[in-house]
A and B are shown apart, each in its own frame.
Chain A
Amino acid sequence: MQQLELIYFSAVRFILPALTVLMLIISVKTVLHHLKRKTLARFAIENYENVVEIKSAECMIGRSILCDVRLKNPTVQKEHAVLTLTDDGFKLTPASRQAEVFVNNYKVDDEAYLQSGDRIRVGGSTLQIAVNPAINMKASYKADHAQKQCRACNAVLLTLFQLLTVICYILHSPKTALTTMAVFGAIMALEWIYLPIRGFKSNVGVEIMAFFLTTVGLCVSASKSSELLIKQGIFFAAGLLAFIFMGLLLSHLNAVDKLRIPVMVLALLLFFYNCFFGTVVYGAKNWVSVFGFLFQPSEFIKVALVFVSASALDKMLKMKNLITFLGFVFICLLCLAYIRDFGAAAIYFAAMMVILCLRLCDLKIVLGLGGAALAGCLFIIRFIPYITDRFATYLHAWDYASSGGYQQTQTMMSIASGGLFGLGPGNGNLNRVFAADTDLVFGVISEEFGLLFSLCVVLCFVLYVVYASVSIPRTRSIYYAVTASAASAIFLFQTTLNLFGSVDLLPLTGVTMPFVSNGGSSMIAAWMLLAFIKLGGSQYVVLRSKEAS
């Protein structure tokens, strides 16, 4: 039996990374597919002198070089009108009060819905719109056959991965075999209930990747203890529910807009509660206890931050909208500083920078804020003892291998011990080190599954970022573009701080790796953020057959 086990482990350590690499390649292929864009409408300018194809659901008409429909007419404003594709069709809105817009010679005061053949007068220019009749107003993402096959294939690969891993854990610790089987069985069941209902034609690639990452997280838990595995399994189910709920909410942009202020208020109230009644765990007062459950408000407020970060393009360009958002982030950062959660503060700040950038803010403002933040960071590093201590061993972990640099050096030793293919699930030693299942997860998975595998894991987060950014031009609303980008940037940022912190290339801040690190708040928040990325990929569908005609 011992020999058999060894043979199984020797084989599996090569099969698991191979499956993962395959999954990643297929995912990259489907993401790149998004680069292809189809025409939603055509504008004929000045009696067919010029024809502009509209490929994005929100576009700007004006004189500026950065407008989607550029009119080189001095009577046109730099940014004159906004064209938005909504569930009810194309909507035209003047970009400012000075901008006069006429549709079929009627002046547009607030907004106007367009139909094919409508003549639009913007300043001294006239345009005629021809809407692509193949647009499916149901406004959800539908993929072609090849894409569907890719996703189904990935789902099968994932299940295979899970099965092989479960057998490893059963062989490794037969005593807890039942628990392991139950938890992994349950999540596999959830996946196979969820995925067919959603259908492989929709962009479930986003979820499949998250299922994979969550599975990796469950492995980290399983290596440590079976109680942790059960907990993490429950959090996964909760996360999936939260994800479905968020998805439903976000698909109603009107509701989102109405909820913007209430969510801000609620988030701030929660933060204040945390500041005054929070529980201190390991030097940071970032925990709140409700009915005996400890959770981290900052994780959920992060979701709120993304939720309130944008509006539809027409509303977002107004100054008031920006100021309320900035005020909200500022108060959040103050609260985080007060509860000494500087890792989270860094994440919030990074998210804000990405959001400002994508909200088309003046780059001077963005850079100015960045500079101010840098100065602030240097101040914090220099003068706050708890942070200064963290920096004492930073970049010198090997000199303090048995004291301040213990976690980092143990992580590096474990990564090296694992080699490219790992020691096999459950065979690691790093999970005995303090906070290994949250802060040092990169080391834990490298040790047990190998560096090749853990690189694939972190590349998933890069892929989310790429997915969010290639979805931007086709997204249904700038709201989805901004929030999806912000959410994916948060993922990547957390991964950066977690991974490089654990190998002493950045200070160890105790930031979690989304989906993978242990912890309920972090898991549920990650799934909620995923909903933004998912919606970012949704778009108005152009049916193939009709388009051809």
Chain B
Amino acid sequence: MKRLSLRAGVMLALAAIFMLGLTFFLVLYVSNANSWAMHAGNTHIYTNGEFTGGGDVLDRNGKVLATTKKNKRVFNSDTTIRLSTLHAVGDANGFISTGVQTAFRDKLSGYNLITGLFSSTSGFNDVTLTIDSNICAAAYQALGGYKGTVGLCNYKTGELLCMVSTPSYDVNSKSDLKRAKDGELEGVFMNRFLSATYAPGSTFKIVTAMAAIENFDDAYTRTYNCKGGGEIGGETVKCTGYHGDISLEQAFAVSCNSYFSQLAVDLGAKTMTEYAEKFGFNKKYDLDGISAKTSSFNVDKARKIELGWAGIGQYNDMQNPLQYLTSVTGIANGGTPIKPYLIKSVKNSWGFTLKSGSAKKGRRICSGDTAEKVAKLMDGAVRITYYKSSFPGLDVYGKTGTAEVDGKTPHAEFIGYCKDDDYPFAFVVVVEEGGSGNYLAKNVANQVLQAAKQSYQK
């Protein structure tokens, strides 16, 4: 029996091996269960590959943007609202990976590691977004068939009121979906606000100006000469006008390329990179955890003339609209940005609030003093070049950009905010191939701001 008792160790070893296997499985479970449960083959929340296991998606005013009825996902009855909120809400097939219905399907379905999908029997969760479907619809219409994106948030609370990306397609129309799948609508499944980057063009002059203000004591008095262009090491950076000897405030207001390219060269690659990164270039941004494409600024290998171009938002500079919007809130808030957020609240079927979004401060982009100075420059730009009257009833501070793209009409861009405690809106507008920023982008911005104002007046 003594020998047998020793051999009985084999049995305990078997049990131990089994327990090891079980532990291994549990580790797998803890790390992967979310993706297992959210797989499109899960019949608790998917019907024939279509996501149906979620509660309502509502806009900030309680308007239902998407819901499930009889195992079918049903979207808002208004076509413009469907088109304008497509990228925020997402589709039922998961083509738009950054849409709420895909990126937050675990929140919509009420899944978590502990209770699983018990909500499939007790009722799914409702998700209320910060966006206002009316502002989105206005933005969609303002873009008027152009490709591009509009983002607008409350820079005090961080609530993202409008996030529109075009082109869009109607989720209720099979022919629309077919066109989208056939690639007729370029980048239709991409939310440009999050996943695109654009050459910033003149909007980048904000960064160059910031660097000058903080580094040159004579920032406001030094002048550069503009003869329809600025000379840098024998080569020329073209300008849209013939500005002669010009100083910072003037140059910013009329968006003089000659001034800012020469200024960038004088600041040097190191300082320019430092300030671009402070502003948010080369840094990761996300919207409630959905990561955005990173803005980039890289002049490590740039020649002098290229550094000049980089100083006015050309060369290889790329901005992401979410990053831009966040940084604009920084200028509006005296240097410290507020991170925009999309999820206002998540409520379960019993009506308990499981999660509610709130304002979170971002990394400071500049000192309060500098922010005030830059704001003044943006104020001047609107006064002198874009006119305050372009934005009736609103005191807009901003900067346009006209980003040159090889062989195409340039992209029109406009970023800025309203200096108004009642209407604390920060915005980013990009109209692809929209020509001068001072025309289309400005008009789009105005229409969206007016819609936002109207919505806030109610």
Contact = CB atoms under 8 A, between A and B. Distances in A.
B244 interface: no
A3 to B, nearest CB: 10
Interface in B1-54: 1-12, 14-15, 18-19, 21-22, 24-25, 28-29, 32-34, 36-37, 39, 41-44
A418 interface: yes
Nearest to B24: A505
A450 B33 CA distance: 13
Contacts, number: 156
Interface in A1-45: 6, 9-10, 13
A118 B59 CA distance: 95
A142 B164 CA distance: 77
A524 interface: no
Contacts of A420: 113-116
Interface of A: 6, 9-10, 13, 56-60, 66-68, 354, 357-358, 360, 398, 401-402, 406, 409-410, 412-413, 415-424, 427, 429, 432, 450-451, 455, 458, 461-462, 465-466, 468-469, 472-473, 478, 481, 485, 488-489, 492-493, 495-496, 499-500, 503, 505
A8 B22 CA distance: 31
Question: Chain A CB within 10 Å — which of B7, B8, B15 has the most?
Answer: B7
Contact of A481 (B4, B28, B34): B4
A458 B23 CA distance: 13
Given A416-B33, A416-B36, 12 more contacts: A6-B122, A10-B118, A56-B1, A66-B2, A357-B10, A401-B41, A421-B115, A422-B116, A424-B121, A488-B11, A489-B11, A493-B14
A76 to B, nearest CB: 16
B120 interface: yes
Contacts of B122: 6, 9-10
A413 B6 contact: no
B7 A357 contact: yes
A495 B11 CA distance: 15
Contact of B4 (A410, A418, A466, A472): A472
B18 A496 contact: yes
Contacts of B291: none
Contacts of A499: 22, 25
B14 A419 contact: no
B454 interface: no
Interface in B273-307: none
Which of A9, A354, A412, A455 has the most chain B CB atoms inside 10 A of its CB? A412
B352 to A, nearest CB: 13
The 7 closest A-B pairs by CB, nearest first: A419-B116, A56-B1, A416-B37, A416-B36, A469-B11, A416-B33, A417-B117
B112 interface: yes
Chain B interface mostly helix, strand, loop or mixed?
helix
Nearest to A500: B21
A354 B5 CA distance: 13
Contacts of B29: 415-416, 451
B113 A419 contact: yes
Contact of A462 (B15, B32, B44, B111): B15
A78 to B, nearest CB: 12
Nearest to A361: B7
Interface residues of B, number: 43
A413 B118 contact: no
Contact of A9 (B1, B44, B121): B121
A402 B121 CA distance: 25
5 contacts: A357-B7, A416-B116, A417-B120, A420-B113, A466-B12
A413 B2 contact: no
A496 B21 contact: yes
A398 B35 CA distance: 11
A468 B9 CA distance: 11
Contacts of B37: 413, 416-417
Interface in B94-135: 111-118, 120-122
A422 B21 CA distance: 22
Given A68-B2, A360-B3, A421 B10 contact: no
Q: Quick one: which of B39, B111, B114, B118 has the most chain A CB within 10 A?
A: B118
B123 to A, nearest CB: 9
B4 A360 contact: yes
B351 to A, nearest CB: 14
Contacts of A472: 1, 4-5, 8
A413 B39 contact: yes
B39 A401 contact: yes
B255 to A, nearest CB: 53
B1 A58 contact: yes
Given A59-B1, A417-B44, A505-B21, A358 B8 contact: yes
A462 B25 contact: no
Contacts of B44: 417, 423, 429
A462 B15 CA distance: 6
A357 B9 CA distance: 10
Nearest to A366: B10
Contacts of B121: 6, 9, 423-424, 427
A409 B1 contact: no
B43 to A, nearest CB: 5
Nearest to A474: B1
A250 B421 CA distance: 90
B43 A60 contact: no
A102 B72 CA distance: 89
Nearest to B113: A419
Contacts of B4: 358, 360, 472-473, 478, 481
Given A409-B41, A420-B115, A429-B43, A465 B25 contact: no
A450 B114 CA distance: 9
A492 B117 contact: no
Contacts of A358: 4, 7-8, 10
Given A10-B122, A67-B2, A500 B116 contact: no
A458 B7 contact: no
B277 to A, nearest CB: 39
Contact of A423 (B3, B7, B41, B117): B117
Nearest to A363: B7
Contacts of A488: 11
B33 A468 contact: no
A432 B33 CA distance: 21
Contacts of B112: 419
A530 to B, nearest CB: 16
Nearest to B46: A413
Contacts of B18: 461-462, 492, 495-496
A365 to B, nearest CB: 13
A360 B1 CA distance: 10
User: Which of the listed residues A58, A66, A469, A493 has the most CB atoms from chain B within 10 Å of its own CB?
Assistant: A469
